[in-house]
Structure 1
Amino acid sequence: MTKPLRGAEGIKARAAGVAGRVEPVPAPKPVPVFLPVWSESVRGVPNGFLRSALFGAIAKGRRRYMDSELVASVDGVEIRYTGQRLDQGDLDTYESVLHTVRLQAMGELCRFKAYGLLKLMGKTDTGKNRETLYKRLVRLRANAIEIKQGRHTYVGGLIDGAFKDEETQEWLVMLNPRLQALFAPDQFTQVQWSVRQALDGHQLAQWLHGFYASHAKPFPLKIETLHKLCGSEAGLMSDFAKKLRKALDAVAEASSANGEGFSYDIRGDLVHVEKQAQGAQRRHLIKKATKPRIPRD
């Protein structure tokens, strides 16, 4: 049995051993990821959320549970969802969370009080509204989505984590940094918040406003297609058509009152919408119109 070296010989041996070790290289610190910064008058939303039934136009009452179910969406977007069905009120809450988080790095805990988020949403600070806010934040956390939008696929929750201090009413919410891929310049829309607020409580009108806001130049769609895309629970297409016309009237009125151009016409079973493009959409159309055409052979 070899005896351990002591004294000067032991010190030399230990020093030689330490010198021969390969020290691990520390991993580089992750680069902070941020959402785009938009103005106070708008809310940034991924196009896939606006062009699908993920946040549907559904009636009040018991919500159906979905288990990795394919959600109706436009071509180019594919969504599977697990959790309780989400409505436009949930989207209002999520838009407000995104609006708050955009000012700091994603993956970090974002602090806000129930009062502040309710105020941002245009809601009064009452016990009922705080309870509703709590339920919506839980619903936004207790889900899983698989969304393919553009070149990216995101698999995860809409909210990564949420914590609440019952004494101070302070919330701590965290978003997955990977969500940032859904906010590429041509993959998200800045929705005019004043118009959306004017339509508060009108599920179908809010959905229509968001859907058409995500299109710089809307193309005609069948009533049946809109019925499917918005996730309507109306059983008869004739009933949905009546609700659709009223909702489009509401969008046109709210848009006009808030400086947005929006008009529609229903010809047969086709819905034609014309709108005045705003901000980035207007720049996109101007750039597209002035882009030199390459002659075909």
Structure 2
Amino acid sequence: MSDPVRKLNQLQQRATQIDNPLQLPLWHEEKRGVPNEVVRSALFNVRNRCVARREFKDEVIAVLSGDICITYSGTELRQDDMDVWMQLLHEARRQPLGQCVEIKPYEFLKDLRWSPTGYYYKKLREHLKRMKFTMLVVNSARLGREIGVSMIRKYECEGRDGEKLERWRIWIEPEVKALFGDVYYTRIDWQQRVKIKGNLAKHLHGVYSSHAQPYPYKVATILEGCGSDMRELRNFRVSLREALEELQRVGFIEHFQ
């Protein structure tokens, strides 16, 4: 391809990006959007905070769907990371991806139902740092290709002189849009989600929200797909029952067997 033709193609691509900027779907205020490939995987696992987070290096993540392959590099992510990431995506959905998203940390913590104290401000910064140093690689029949992306591109919590910013700045990678497509994402009921305390219950809330109709899973499949460190199926059954009972209490499911 000659240089003039190549330059013309590049200009046409840039013009298309300007006319059609990559933007997330505009779900309702009471919902939070998350890609189906992510919510049906163990990327955000259910291990509790008492266990030290491990480091992943291009490791395969368990997924409940057979036509999806996910690998991950970075510090282990859990359900509280998913809460933060979903809230970031929620804030970013009204503007083109790649642009700076400004958040007021006080209001952000309130949306997460976290107390606006020093502990939680520090915790929020730790989540942002953890998601900055990640590499998520997704390959599925739906995508038709392999996509590698960081959970967030970068963030700013302080000015150059170390002064705390009233509004924190976060950038989301434009490639995240491909994971959502137009319809390949789940709308999580946020009011239910923030009432759920258990990590396994949160995971199941996301998984079952991603199906239009109830879908039966084997207990062993759920154990593998949630990223739990339990090994005995009989012990996991106890935790699973408790998680399902919690989903009953918040009004997500009527009954289970």
TM tier, shorter chain? 0.7 to 0.9
1:117 maps to which of 95, 103, 108: 108
Q: How does 1:221-232 map to 2 (within 5 A)?
A: 221-232=217-228
Match of 1:192 in 2: 189
1:52 maps to which of 34, 37, 41: 41
Is structure 2 residue 59 aligned with structure 1 residue 69?
A: yes
Match of 2:118 in 1: 127
Counterparts of 1:78 and 1:169, CA distance in 2: 40
Measured against aligned partners, the alpha-carbon deviations of 1:159-199 in whole angstroms (never above 9, x if no partner) come to 01112224224311111111101112331000000111110
**Corresponding residue SS for 2:110:** helix
Is structure 2 residue 177 aligned with structure 1 residue 180?
A: yes
**Corresponding residue SS for 1:68:** strand
Moved over 4 A (4+): none
Question: Residue type matched to 1:94 in 2?
Answer: W
Q: Provide the alpha-carbon RMSD of the alignment.
A: 1.7
- Structure 1 unpaired stretches of 5+: 1-21, 266-297
C-alpha displacement at 1:81, in angstroms? Answer: 0.3
- Whether the 8 Å CA contact 2:208–2:215 is kept in 1: the answer is no
- Whether the 8 Å CA contact 1:205–1:248 is kept in 2: the answer is yes
Measured against aligned partners, the alpha-carbon deviations of 1:232-270 in whole angstroms (never above 9, x if no partner) come to 01122111110000001101221x2xxx444211xxxxx
Question: Residue type matched to 2:173 in 1?
Answer: N
Distance 1:185 1:264, change over 3 A: farther
**Corresponding residue SS for 2:194:** helix
TM-score, scaled relative to structure 1: 0.76
Is structure 2 residue 155 aligned with structure 1 residue 155?
A: no
Is structure 2 residue 197 aligned with structure 1 residue 205?
A: no
Measured against aligned partners, the alpha-carbon deviations of 1:196-247 in whole angstroms (never above 9, x if no partner) come to 1110x31000000001100112322111110000000112211111000000
- Whether the 8 Å CA contact 1:59–1:233 is kept in 2: the answer is no
- Whether the 8 Å CA contact 1:196–1:206 is kept in 2: the answer is yes
Measured against aligned partners, the alpha-carbon deviations of 1:64-92 in whole angstroms (never above 9, x if no partner) come to 11110000002122100001111100000
**Corresponding residue SS for 1:137:** helix
Match of 2:255 in 1: 263
1:42 maps to which of 31, 43, 47: 31
Q: Which moved more, 1:38-47 or 1:118-127?
A: 118-127
**Corresponding residue SS for 1:131:** helix
Question: Residue type matched to 2:243 in 1?
Answer: A
Question: Residue type matched to 1:66 in 2?
Answer: F
Measured against aligned partners, the alpha-carbon deviations of 1:112-160 in whole angstroms (never above 9, x if no partner) come to 1211211221222100010111111111111101012422432020101
Aligned length: 238
Match of 1:3 in 2: none
Match of 1:9 in 2: none
Q: Which moved more, 1:62-71 or 1:107-116?
A: 107-116
Larger Rg: 1
- Whether the 8 Å CA contact 2:72–2:137 is kept in 1: the answer is yes
2:164 maps to which of 167, 183, 204: 167
Distance 1:127 1:71, change over 3 A: same
